Structure 1
Amino acid sequence: MRRHEVGVWWLAVFFTAANAAINPVDYLWPIPYSVKCDPGLQYGIDDVSFTIRGSGQGGELPTLTSAFERYRPFIVPDTMKAKNPNVKLGVGMLEMLEVNVVSNDETLALETDESYTLEFKNETTPGVYSAILTAPTVYGALRGIETFSQLVHQDDTGAYYVSVCTISDKPRFQFRSILMDTARHFIPLEVIYRHLDAMAYNKFNVLHWHIVDDQSFPYQSYLFPDLSGKGAYTQNHVYSQSDVAAVIEFAKERGIRVIPEFDTPGHSASWGKGQPNLLTSCYKANTTIMTGHGPINPILESTYTFLESFYKEISDVFPDQYLHLGGDEVSFACWESNPDIQKWMATKNLTKYAKLEEYYEQRLIDIVDKLGKSYLVWQEIFDNGVEIRNDTVISVWKSKPPYVEEMENVTAAGYKVILSACWYLNIISYGQDWTKYYACDPQNFNGTEAQKELVMGGSAALWAEYVDGTNLLSRLWPRASAVGEKLWSQYASTTDSHIAAPRLHNHRCRLLRRGVPAEPVEGPSFCPQEYVPSY
């Protein structure tokens, strides 16, 4: 297909959809587990009488009531005229969305049930209907409210309707994450909040916050204030304790867990600016000439005294059960150059620097274990043969060896696994690169059913060497939406990007209406309501 033909195809698809009767499935993203719609059946929505009501044990939870406030403008926009006079005569009216939350337990964890059902029923008054959304938990209700909002549409006269569908839905994977890097470039809180909103619109449930790295240390520790005091770019590029708490609360209200990553022993240059004697001194080969500092020094007891205190703070600040401990890209060159490390290794009969890394990781894991936390690590920890607990979660990120081989090896060893390798969204290319993300599946490797059950899900990664608050949202969305559907929806319904493409276009237009500057991904096209930045 020549380049100009791509645009013709897309416009044909769009105009066909615009002029034909609405198929509500074409507007759902991610596609639900089971959806059955009554063809052409829709109810009008009255902006005055329409209500959203909670019921069940969790019907009055603050998380639910705040969701009602957020979503009402998507269901009955402020632009709707009183009594919606343009609703066609003879069309039934939807006067209530009842959200029945069975449990009042607001625990947000890996095991949280995010399923829900949605159905419509006739009230006692002829022509008046209600939608009933039922979920075991408030977080399942959040997913259902998002789906319900996607069934609402506006016709050519300006009237709003909801398509009548019966939906039963649940996520395919429990771990659906996006990695956000705030060390290479500082990301303002307002952008993080908008990003969390977009994650909720796409049913992601984990923010993997890669909060510090070599370049800067923007996390403000209350025990070790010099870490950010000397390691951040400036004191205007710091997340205070109240900032972190606000992000965690904002995320939880949207059913999103926040898992921080403090990557060690490599990627730690910024740590050494505010914590003396933490990093390894590097030397020019066979001389006493210092050339700088390398990874965290693993032979000093002061290292572990610091880590015990610091990770105790992290455990208190970030309530999630999981921490990400990093462990990737540790260069052994600095350790090899340091005479003190050479002598120490000789006393321990260690001949390989991978064993020195293992010593460090095991000490760190023991610290985290005593805090009662579970943890994730990058795949190098597994690849280097570090002895780790059976409940360790391995993050697979490398393209070599092929990730399918790595997934097979990790699960064959009995470890749970998260896939990132095929979802590095910071790597951009001209054209519809979302299709390659859509083609990737975390369970597409040779292995038994028991091995594939060890796949917890996946994580789209946006490393920020060339990303800051100006382009984070547009670079992520709607490309990350392709990953979101792969992780939420059942595999059989997410195998053909050509079928998904019109739905992704409609979803992108919805993101624009909701204030997310999602970039075009399909070639020449348009949205009925284009994105206009607020200045």
Structure 2
Amino acid sequence: MQQTADRFPLSPRLFSFNYGRDSSAQTGCSVLDAAFKRYFSILFPEFTKDEFFDAWSEPKSFVVTVSVKSRGCDGYPDEDSDESYNLGVGDGQAVLRSVSVWGALRGLESLSQLVYQDDYGSYFINKTEIVDFPRFAYRGLLLDSSRHYLPLHAILKTLGAFHPFTHIYTQSDVKRVIEHARMRGIRVVPEFDSPGHTQSWGRGSVPSGTFGPLDPTVDSTYQFMERLLKEVKIVFPDSYLHLGGDEVSFSCWQSNPNVRKFMEKMGFGKDFTKLESFYMESIMNLTAALNRTSIVWQDVFDYHERPRSRYVVEVWKQGCYLCEMRRVTKAGLKVVLAAPFYLDLPIPTHSWARYYNVRPLAFLVLEIWKSEHYQTELSKMTKAGHRVLLSAPWYINHISYGQDWRNSYAVQPQNFSGTEEQKKLVIGGEVAMWGEYVDATNLTPRLWPRACAAAERLWSNEQLTLNADLAFPRLKEFRCELLRRGIQAEPLFVGHCKHEYDGL
């Protein structure tokens, strides 16, 4: 990005968006037509034709011309979407060029953050040249809608929707969320965690008198899962499907004589991790038959070192997450990082630096706690050939007093000992907002601006994001921008914004 002190006045009356003559997207492109209207309101929230006053006696017109190379206005973003864009701002015009409509959306967001007001309320934009693209293709946010009721407005605002009385998502609710996300270039990846974490499934069915994880020894379990996954494929267009697979308690299986008999028959002995692997392999095969890519939590890799199926591993366990990533990528699997981005957990004062300061390529010494150090997991999983998502360091439901956004900013997803080919298998990371202590009352302020730190880490070039102190002014300004847009973002530190939050 290059920016000069040359600034140009903007008049909402004479500001417009249009399509370039060479653009494959033209009027009628639903994604960009809606984006033009949305960003005009974001840029000039106080403008009405009857009341707005131009401070400039001779305002000039300003035209934003958008040119998109490839077609795809009616599609959905996916893992191969090109989000790059070029943006040039000059006197009276801005030119935005991108390969896809999703890149155009990213460019429009950048444009919206370049416009500012002076002390008299006049709008300006500086001469700017931007060439931008994401460092990682997968940059996710997990919302836990099982532990607490999240109303539709809370989910749509953060980008699902519980019925306010029955706490059930209808297919029309889900379609609304997916379309809301599509118009903003956001993918919706569903997670149906099994065989554990299934208590809510039972509450939605006829009571059976039994508790615990799904029974992996009976055909009815797989018949049910096959029907469920087929329905999920119809409702959710994304090619990724998260199957969970974490934190399975074996006590229920251990107490079931039929399960023990099945394990003896299969030659599993008393190793219940082999039974879990048997179940997950079966479910991943069902998913592959539906032409979907499975995402699983790292527990599946920990207990199943040589899977027949290829899948994406999400690293969530705390500790040396880079060790975990080294272990996973060394196995040849792709990775999503979440471990350092758990925003819900209380942690020590001024711990926000931890989010910023992790370095992807500098890790040389490995810690030996395999189950706790996700750097080791990353190495092992990528060595096995799996693509990996890192989530372990980004549980942002973990909060603390002080500038805890620095914790998210410290994370570098590729900071583990492995080959360059292994590091390429780390496809990104995912911020997780688990819901034990989070619902609609505290979701937004707990999420923002902590998630912004992880977002910059996953989008921007590493060399431009080495210093949390240099990031602070950017994130502080963006937090003020969130307040201006009506997003209830918490303060980063002492200070104020020109546009403070007006309240609920």
For these two proteins, the number of residue pairs brought into alignment is: 445
Residue 26 (structure 2) aligns with = 59
Residue 272 of structure 2 corresponds to which residue in structure 1? 353
- The answer as to whether partners of 1:362 and 1:387 remain within 8 angstroms in 2 is no
Aligned to 1:3: none
Contact 1:59 1:99 in 2 (8 A): no
2:176, 2:302 → 1: CA distance? 37
1:142 touches 1:255 (CA, 8 Å); kept in 2? yes
Residues 76 and 182 of structure 2 are in contact (CA less than 8 Å); yes or no, is this contact kept in structure 1?
no
% identical equivalent positions? 43
Q: Which amino acid aligns with 1:474?
A: P
Confirm or deny that 1:117 pairs with 2:86: yes
Is structure 2 residue 111 aligned with structure 1 residue 148?
yes
1:280-359 matched pairs, under 5 angstroms: 293-351=211-269, 352-359=271-278
> CA deviation digits over 1:114-159, x for unaligned, max 9?
000011355xxxxxx2110001110100000000011100001111
| Partner secondary structure for residue 313 of structure 2 | strand
Return 390-399 or 512-521, whichever deviates more: 390-399
- Contact 1:80 1:159 (8 Å CA) reproduced: no
Asked if the contact 2:297–2:314 (Cα under 8 Å) also holds between the matched residues in 1, the reply is: yes
Q: Paired residue for 1:529?
A: 499
Task: Give the alignment's TM-score, normalised by structure 2.
Answer: 0.85
Corresponding residue for residue 414 of structure 1: 385
Q: CA deviation at 1:93?
A: 3.8
Question: Which residue, 433, 450, 453 being the options, matches 2:404?
Answer: 433
Letter in 1 for 2:2: K
Code of the residue aligned with 2:274 in structure 1: it is: K
Matches within 5 A, 1:216-231: none
Distance 1:69 1:389 in 2: 48
Match of 1:27 in 2: none
Answer yes or no: is the 8 Å Cα contact 2:405–2:453 preserved in 1: yes
Q: How does 1:237-316 map to 2 (within 5 A)?
A: 237-275=167-205, 293-316=211-234
Which deviates more, 100-109 or 487-496? 100-109
Matches within 5 A, 1:375-390: 375-385=294-304, 387-389=306-308
Write the distance in 1 (CA, Å) between the matches of 2:382 and 2:286: 25
Q: Specify the code of the residue in structure 1 equivalent to 2:118.
A: D
The letter of the residue matching 2:24 is Q
Asked whether the equivalents of residues 390 and 415 of structure 1 are also in contact (C-alpha less than 8 Å), the reply is no
Letter in 1 for 2:263: M
- Kindly indicate whether structure 1 or structure 2 has the higher relative contact order, using CA contacts under 8 Å at least 6 residues apart: 1
The alpha-carbon deviation at position 94 of structure 1 amounts to 5.0
Measure how far apart 1:277 and its partner are.
9.0
Q: Give the letter aligned to residue 49 of structure 1.
A: L
Structure 1 range deviating more: 43-52 or 423-432: 43-52
TM-superposed deviation, 1:529 = 1.2
1:152-191 equivalences in 2 (<5 Å): 152-191=115-154
Matched-pair contact (CA < 8 Å) for 2:89–2:126: no
Q: 1:87 aligns with which of 45, 56, 60?
A: 56
Change beyond 3 A, Cα 1:96–1:355? same
Q: Compare CA radii of gyration and give the structure with the larger one.
A: 1
**Which residue number in structure 1 is paired with residue 8 of structure 2?**
43
Equivalent residue for 1:73? Answer: 41
Match for 1:513: what amino acid?
A: R
1:443 aligned counterpart, secondary structure: coil
| Partner residue, 1:512 | 483
For structure 2, the 5+ residue unaligned runs are 319-370
Tell me the distance in 1 between the aligned counterparts of 2:427 and 2:26.
30
How far apart are residue 337 of structure 1 and its match?
A: 1.1
Question: CA 1:46 to 1:277, structure 2 compared with 1: closer, same or farther past 3 Å?
Answer: closer
**C-alpha distance 451-94 of structure 1, shift in aligned 2 (>3 A):** farther
Determine the C-alpha separation between the residues in 2 that align with 1:531 and 1:415.
Answer: 44
> What does 1:116-135 correspond to in 2, within 5 Å?
116-121=85-90, 129-135=92-98
Q: CA deviation at 1:326?
A: 0.2
Residue 431 of structure 1 deviates from its aligned partner by 0.3
Does structure 1 retain, via aligned residues, the 8 Å contact 2:17–2:63? Answer: yes
Instruction: Sort the Cα spacing of 1:74 and 1:272 in 2 relative to 1 into closer, same or farther, 3 A.
Output: closer
Partner of 2:361: none
Give the structure 2 partner of residue 101 of structure 1: 68
Gap runs ≥5 in structure 1: 1-34, 123-128, 197-208, 212-217, 221-233, 282-291
C-alpha displacement at 1:350, in angstroms?
1.9
Q: Retained in 2: the 8 A contact 1:390–1:414?
A: no
Change over 3 Å in CA distance of 1:274–1:192 after alignment to 2: closer
Secondary structure of the structure 1 residue equivalent to 2:396: coil
* 1:43–1:93 Cα contact (<8 Å) kept: no
Taking a change above 3 Å as real, the CA distance of residues 339 and 64 of structure 1, as seen in their structure-2 partners, is same
Residue 285 of structure 2 corresponds to 366
Aligned mates of 1:51, 1:264 — CA distance in 2: 50
In the aligned structure 2, how far is the partner of 1:395 from the partner of 1:83? 50
Aligned CA distance change for structure 1 residues 296 and 390 (closer, same or farther; 3 Å): closer
CA contact (8 A) 2:217 2:259 kept: yes
2:100 aligned with 1:137: yes
Contact conserved, 1:378 with 1:395, CA < 8 A, in 2? yes
Which whole-Å deviations, capped at 9, do the CAs of 1:348-385 have from their partners, x for residues lacking one?
A: 22212111111111211121111111110000100002
Judged with a 3 Å threshold, the aligned counterparts in structure 2 of structure 1 residues 529 and 121 are, in CA distance, closer, same or farther, namely closer
1:466 is matched with which residue: 423, 427, 437? 437
Q: Report Cα offsets for 1:308-366 as digits up to 9, x if no partner.
A: 11110011111100100000011111111111111122222221211111111121112
1:83 CA displacement? 8.2
Whole-angstrom distance in 1 between the partners of 2:312 and 2:453: 24
Give TM-score scaled by structure 1 length. 0.80
2:62 and 2:198 mapped to 1: Cα distance?
56
CA offsets 1:70-90 (integer angstroms, 9 cap, x no match): 00022233347878532387x
Coordinate RMSD, CA, aligned: 2.0
Choose 335-344 or 173-182, whichever is displaced more: 335-344
Say if 1:137 and 1:63 are closer, same or farther in 2 by CA, change over 3 A: same
Q: Deviations over 1:281-314 (max 9, x none)?
A: 8xxxxxxxxxx52210011111111111111001
